[in-house]
Structure formats: structure tokens, C-alpha cells
Structure 1
């Protein structure tokens, strides 16, 4: 019998006990390293999401580290019960494993990927770049850093071995084990519930940690009548991420000529104003079915400047809108004014108020977009701006019908701020399809009589005189567009599916 010798059995028992404490120490280190995933990801929008994040963080990382102990350290304790050998090999395994965890965390932070066969191309590319850019001193530093890290593991292993009898007397193993088991059970139980209810604050964390496969039980629950699987599939189809971090923009190259002598001015009031009186005084044409669908003014500014909903804001705010880049490069003076912060991608086109006012007030070719208050709007309109420039006037009033006034005739279909940029390009004579750079359409050449956008995590579809709102869990409500009252009408799934595909076509699905 392997353990028949009493001294051997005692040595193995002590090594196994040491291994548990060594694993616990590395669990705590791994949890600290894994904080890179947590602090570089968006925080959950709910308290339940935060509780799940913490329990999943502690339990999953502890599980991975303990599995390393089971697979690599525990067999050594029985098959090769030499104290120095076990401590040395275990330290090497721990140092390499935690280094891989740190590398995976940095890879996830930069590319949103974990170490896998699917990320091999990215890893090879990063390795080639590192080999090209790193000098021998930098490689020496990295090697020295790993030696220091391995030395730390060896010192920790020796310190634990010398104090193992003292640790055994503390009897804190059961409370610690109970804590991690409770976290493990509660996180997987919470995920089963969240998956069945499509609860996004939890589901969106599925890919945060490496080798993460949260529990689901849809088939079992549907078998016992606890889940309507058809209703689940329908609600899942209606869901959309609250933002896209990776996009293909533009969807195709945008090539077109423009009228480089045109003078177009779009003014968006940032506070409630009586545009009707102003429009009548200037004999502007009224387009009443124009809506501000955005939840806040920063999202509305993004939609005006990019022709896209705020879903794309985080991915594109550092990139110049393709149409404005085109007009600028083709020599048409392109200027933007806003007292509030603009996306960094358009900062180079931004002007202060005196410069914007002077350029807009003077005759001459230009494309100007101004986010102005009531006083600034009245100052501009009191001159002869409407005589030498084509005008578009609207305002920001989140979730409301705001109307649109223009110098030229526009189509009477329902529209939003996302349609303004394609409309400007159409008025400039650009015949490039707006589908390549916007979810909106030119109101001079309307192709559809519905629109879709997002509002604070909800999808908003305006179609057939109805407003359909779909929340992050896939539940929907229908309102009459004129009265604002909730409607008993059934949902047009075909239209909604078409609209969601239209809205998300710039997104890259990993």
C-alpha cells in the first residue's frame, strides 16, 4: 500500500495541508489580478448585477485556481512526496498560471478577447509587434520580472511550509470554503434566473472572465412548465446590446461629389423655443413629424453629427463623421458650434461662438451645424441668414415631437435627428447611399416610412402612427403616436426584426 509507511503518510498529509494553504494564497492573488477585468468593464446597472459580479468574481477565480491545485499540485503530493520538489514545481506552476491570467486580463482589456484558439491570430500579431518594438533591455526586464515573481512564489511556499502547524490550529478552512461555495452557488443560481428572464445586467457579464460557462437551465425549466420557451425566444430576438464597442464604419466607402458653393446651416436649439413663430416669420416650411428620440442632449448631439443612435457613441466618438470629413476634405468650409462638450472626433471642426457667428452670418459656401440657446438663435435669425443660406431649424427636447423647419420642401414622413446629416448631404448633391454611414435617411429622398433608434437602453420604433418601446429584457409597450396613450394593438414582429437588423448593421458581432 502506497501510504503504508507512517513517516511517508505523515509527510504526504503535511504536503496536502500545505498545498491547500498555498492554493488559498494564490486564490487571493488571482482575485486581485482579476480585478483588471472588473475595473475595465462597465459596471452593472443594478444592485443585483453588482452582487452577481462580486460573487462570480470571487467564486470563478477561486474555482480556476483551486482546479490548478487539484490537477498539478495534489498529484505531486502523493506521487512524488519530496518537499523541495513539490514546493519548487508548485511554485513554477503558480507563477506561470498567474502570469497567463495577467496576460489574459490585458488581452481582454485591449481586444475584448480571452486566451483561446480563436484569439491565436491576435496573440501572434501582438507577439510580432512586441518582438519588433522591444529592445533586448526590455526583454531582459520582462525576464527579470518573471524571475522576481517566481522567487516570490518560492518564498511564499517556504514561509507556508514553516508555519503549517500553526495554520492547522486556526481551523478557518471551513468558513473560507463555505464563503467560496456560497459565492459559487449563488452566482450560478442567479445566472440561471437571469438567463431565463433575459436580465441584461447579469447576462452581459457572461464573457468577462476566462473559461467562464455560467449555468443555464432553460430546457429543464421548460420541461416542468417553469418557462415558456417560445416566449423566451421571442423576447431574446428583441434584445440589443445597450452599446456597440466594435463597429464597421462606414459600412462601405463613401464617394460622391458635392455642390462646393452651397451654403447650408443647421441650427439645433438646446432649450425650448417657439420655432413655429420663428418659422412663420421667415416663411420656412414646417415638417411636423420630427422627433427627438434621444434620452439626453449629449446623445442627441451625437445623433445630429453622426446620423447614428447613441448605441454607437462609445465606439465612434473619437472618429470624425464620414460625411463631415468628406465635405471638409472637398474644400467646403465645415464648422460646428456647441457650448457643451462635443465628441472628440469633431473637435477639429469646432468653433467658438464669435467665430461661428461671423462665418455663418456672412454669405459664402459653408456647411454649419450649431447647437445654440434661445438668445443665440434669435441673434442669428434677426439678420439676413435666411436670404443667403438654406436653413434647417429644430430643437432638443428628449422623448418629444419637436418639429423641423426648413427653407426647402422635405418629405412628410416620420423623422428624427439621425435623418439630419443624410438630409444635409442630399441637399449638397451627394448621391452616396446614406446606408453606408447612417441609420437615418435623407428627407429629400425618402426610402422608408418608419424609423428606429434607442433611448437609455430601450429600442424605440416609430411606425404606422405608433411608438413601440422594447426594454432590455425584451418586453415591449405600444403607444399611440398622437395621443401618447398605450395602445392594445399587437406587435408587428416582422417590422421590428427588420428595424433591429437595420439599426445594428454597423456592429461587429464577436
Structure 2
């Protein structure tokens, strides 16, 4: 008889704890929604009504699901394990307080770095190499006692009022609303993803632990979506979750410049850092000996668009997709096109300006030929145009976009370099003059390994991101420069020394002045939409993904184990990462 009574008492107590847990979960859903609403003031706010409505639907749907899932995984099992209801409620209060505090901290992390909390970010906050940051972040733990008090008060009140609360029926309707909001969040996002509706897809990473559903494979298999057309659209217009950019951050102010050199910029996609040698390109190497060579120079990415982002915008590659989506013009091309400078602009390409950044953003105001030509024909076309400019005695900006054929083996690549050596030396000798600034570099390097698309996205060995940078200009001393440099450094150099911009570099670029030969950098950044790749002076690389996880590689691109990440370095990168995203 005693056992039956004891068993009935256990069931009643457990049932009561489960019932209380529902109300406690509902209370914390409201807490999470209230705190999560702060993301509305942080994110790139959508400008369409549907985009704004989606934010609120996802706010209710996402946090109600997350909190209820935590309840099912943690608090619900405790209802059966912990017999004492005070202990049970105490543990629940502590877990809820920690969760709400972490969410509050995450909103600030997202505001500053455009990242959500991860193990690396957490280590950075609580144990940084720069101690003042730790003291700053302690402020965001200050509300923790208030949250704890509120949780304790509601815990006690709801336990005492549980019988009357159980008679309330409206909670079921609220639950149905949350389920509908959660379902709508994923269905609407799946539709927007399939039909490229950016006011909604750009909200993919608004909230922590957010992984909206997509249905591309399903739609493709049933003939509702053309996979090839979809891929072409993304390539041309940028990824769906690209953020808006605030570039430049302030209107640029220029002083009258005493110099107005002709500018010739040549990029050769596929030209590796070790190509400029007597054995491989003897003619170009001889000419480079009378120029300024940057021997430790890196592209901003492993694809043409990523490298061009650094060259023409002075920005790291994680801005490429946003520049495409927003069709953001380059401050360099805008200045060259300004009537105040009156530069004549000529642009030439051997592959019809295939990289989408050309048509979508960099030269969107110029008519570009889609016709593919040989590199020899392209160089001849440029030299003919150059001769016309010389006869008219007009200042000009000439750009050549050349490419080395992909898929070559080392022998085929050597033959391609030999032909290119003749073309570039011919071009060099004809345009070289006292009043010409000649720049030769590459959007990316070249690799011989067979990599699939997914492997290539994560491949950042020296052969693909370290590239030549040769500058021929009378204002620069002849010699080889050993300091660490990046494509992001070229734009500040041109804007400062040619156009005499008065703004600080941080208003329009993330690099430093390439022509300042005395300055030193301890790291540069390469990457793509998925990775930030930090390259240090000794060639060590740290790969950071969008979630704050990292991998370490030595100078030979061998993966290394690392239990103590350089948190001070990561802090510098995180601070720079989102400085031009619109807030």
C-alpha cells in the first residue's frame, strides 16, 4: 500500500514539474524574444514590407523553437531525475539565466564583429591578450543578477499559482502561433532562396543557431528550378545572404594634385609568385629589375572576383558578394571618371570580362565587350589605344585583364609563361615613360592539383594567393621590397599619391599605403565568402570560418594542431572584418 501511494505521489510531483516547465519555458521564450529584438537594430534592415514582416515572424518562430528545444533536451528530463521540486526549479533558473545572459552577450558580439558566439570568440572575450577588452565585456554580464532575480521570482510565483495557471487555455493558442511562425519562417525562406528574393535571404544569419531550410534540390528534381540558371545568377549578382555595404564611409575630399601620371594596370589571372625568374620569364624579370618589386605580396582571395575586390576597392574578399549584390562602384574608377581629373579610360580583356565584378560593379558605367580574344590581340588593341592617347596628349588609365588558360600541367604552364613573357615585355617597353605609372600583378595564382569545387573554396596555398606585384614609377625607388603587402594596399597608394585624397585610409579601404616602403604589417587577409585567411610574416596561416572556428597551417601549407589561438591577432581581424558593412 505504501509503494502504491509513493508511486502516485511521484507521478503527481512529476506531472506538476512538467506543467510548471511549460510555463517556465513560455516565460523564457518571451525573454529571448525581448533580447533578440535587439538584432533589429544591428542587422542590415530590409527595405521591403515583406522583408520586415519576415524578421518578426522569424524572431518569434526561431526563439520559441530554440527555447522549447532546450526545455525538451535539458529541463524535461530533469523533471524525472530530480525529485525535489526546489532543486529542480533552482537548476532550471540557473540554466535559464545563463542562456539569457549569453544571448545578450551574443547581440553585442554580433554588433561589433558580425559573428555569433563560438568557442574562439568566447575565448577572445573572456581571456584576450589585450586585457582592456575583457574589462569592457564584463559590463554585459552586469544584468545577470537582475535576470536571475526575475527568473527566481517567476519560478516561485508560477509554482504557487500553478493550479490556476493550468486552467488557462490561451497558452495552447500561443503554442500554435509559435509553431506556425516557426513553420512559416522556414517555408518562406525556402521560397525566397529558390526565387532569389534578397530582402529575406539576407537575413539568414540574423540569429544564433539559425539554419533556415532550403528546397533547391527538391524544386530542381521536380523541374521547378533551373540549376544552371540559378548558379549563373548567383555568380553574376552575388550570394543571397550578402549584406549591404557602407562604402566609402565618408565622402572623399581631394586636394589639388601636382602630379597626373598615366596609369597602366595589368592583371594576369594565373601568374604565380615564382613566375618572375630568369628561368621562366627572362625578359620580364630583366625589366622588373629596374622597378619596385614586392616579393611578399598576396592577393585577397583564391578567385578572380576576390582578387579584384582588393585591387579596385581596397577591401577584403568577404565584401565581394556584397559589392556584387549592391552594385557598389569603385572609388578609384569614380575618381578617374570625375571631370576634375579628366582621365581617359580604356579597358581591355582577353576573355570578355568574364569575372562578374567587372560588369556588375567596377565598370558598370562602361560598355564592355564580351568578345573573347587571344592575349596577343588584347595587348595589340591596348597598344593601339595607347598610341592614340599619346598623340592626343591626354592623361589616361589603361587596364588589361589577361588570363592564363586553366587546367595546364607544369609543362604547359611553362610554355604559357614563355608566350606571356614576350607580350608583357613588348607592352612594358612601349608604355614605359617618365610620366607613366605601370602596375603588374595577378588576381590569383595558379595550382596544378585536381580539386573539386568544395575543396577549391577552402584552398589557400601560396601558389594560389601569393602573386607578383611590380610597380614602375619614377617616384618609387628601384629595388626588391620584402615587407608583407596585399592587394588592399594598392588603392590607398593610388588615392594618396596620385589623387591626393585628404580622408584617412579607413574611410575607403582596409589596407595600408603600398608606396610607403617604411611601414610594416604583421598580417594580411585573404579569403572568400566562407573563409577569412590570415597570413603572417613567416607564412603561417590561420583560417577562420563564418562561425568563428579556425584552422592553422604552416608556411608549407601543412595543417597544424593549435590549442592556443593568437587571440590578439583574431581580435584585430574581427574588428576589421565588418567595418564597411552597413549597420
Number of the residue aligned with 1:81: 83
CA contact (8 A) 1:15 1:81 kept: no
| Aligned match for 1:187, one of 185, 190, 193 | 185
- Name the CA distance, whole Å, in 2 between partners of 1:137 and 1:227: 49
What is the match of residue 453 of structure 1?
Answer: none
Pairing of 1:22-33 with structure 2 (within 5 A): 22-33=24-35
Q: Deviations over 1:249-278 (max 9, x none)?
A: xxxxxxxxxxx95379xxxxxxxxxxxxxx
CA distance in structure 1 between the aligned counterparts of 2:124 and 2:134, rounded to whole angstroms = 17
Structure 2 residue ranges without an equivalent (≥5): 248-256, 262-310, 324-329, 346-363, 368-388, 401-432, 444-486, 495-527, 534-544, 547-583
When residues 148 and 130 of structure 1 are mapped into structure 2, their CA distance, relative to the original with a 3 A threshold, is farther
How far residue 135 of structure 1 moved from its aligned partner, in angstroms, is 9.1
1:35 alignment partner, one of 13, 34, 37? 37
Aligned positions of 1:359-374 closer than 5 A: none
Alpha carbons of structure 1 residues 414 and 12: separation in structure 2 relative to 1, 3 Å: same
Give the deviation of 1:322 after TM superposition: 11
Is 1:126 the counterpart of 2:125? The answer is yes
1:66 has 2:68 as partner? yes
RMSD: 5.0
The 3-state SS of whatever aligns with 1:198 is coil
TM-fit CA distance, 1:411: 5.9
Q: Is the 2:126–2:134 contact (alpha carbons within 8 Å) kept by the matching residues of 1?
A: no
Please show how residues 201-220 of structure 1 align to structure 2 within 5 Å: 201-220=199-218
Match of 1:115? 117
Distance 1:223 1:392 in 2: 52
Deviation at 1:22, TM superposition (A): 0.6
The answer as to whether partners of 1:36 and 1:106 remain within 8 angstroms in 2 is no
Post-superposition shift, 1:183?
A: 0.6
Greater C-alpha Rg: 1
Change in CA separation of 1:172 and 1:507 when aligned onto 2, cut-off 3 Å: same
Match of 1:100 in 2: 102
Within a 5 Å distance, the mapping from 1:335-484 to structure 2 comes to: 408-409=393-394, 429-432=436-439, 436=487
Alpha-carbon distance change, 101 to 391 in structure 1, aligned in 2, over 3 angstroms: closer
| Equivalent-residue separation in structure 2 for 1:412 and 1:214 (angstroms) | 46
Pairwise CA distance, 1:31? 0.7
Change (3 A) 1:179 1:427: farther
* Contact 2:342/2:395, CA 8 A, preserved across alignment: no
Structure 1 unmatched ranges of 5 or more? 248-259, 265-305, 316-320, 324-367, 378-389, 416-425, 443-502
Aligned to 2:147: 149
Higher relative contact order (CA 8 A, sep 6+): 2
Residue deviations 1:421-462, cap 9 Å, x none?
xxxxx99654445984679xx9xxxxxxxxxxxxxxxxxxxx
Q: What is the distance in 2 between the residues matched to 1:114 and 1:92? A: 22
Structure 2: distance between partners of 1:181 and 1:208: 19
Shift of 1:162: 1.6
Distance 1:44 1:137 in 2: 31
Alpha-carbon shift at residue 152 of structure 1 (Å)? 2.3
Offset at 1:229?
2.4
**C-alpha distance in 2, partners of 1:392/1:173?**
69
The yes-or-no answer on 1:262 pairing with 2:259 is yes
In the TM superposition, 1:313-332 aligns within 5 A as none
Report the CA distance shift for 1:55/1:89 in structure 2 as closer, same or farther (over 3 A): same
Give the alignment of 1:165-244 within 5 angstroms: 165-240=163-238
Deviation, 1:179, is 0.7
Q: 1:226 to 1:143 in 2, by over 3 A?
A: closer
1:174 is paired with a residue whose SS is helix
Deviation for aligned residue 1:116: 2.8
Residue-pair matches, total = 318
User: Residues 138, 28 of structure 1: CA spacing in aligned structure 2 closer, same or farther, 3 A cutoff?
Assistant: closer
Shift of 1:99: 1.3
What TM-score does the superposition give when structure 1 sets the normalisation length? 0.51
Q: Deviations over 1:370-421 (max 9, x none)?
A: 989xxxx9xxxxxxxxxxxx86699xxxx9789xx99842569899xxxxxx
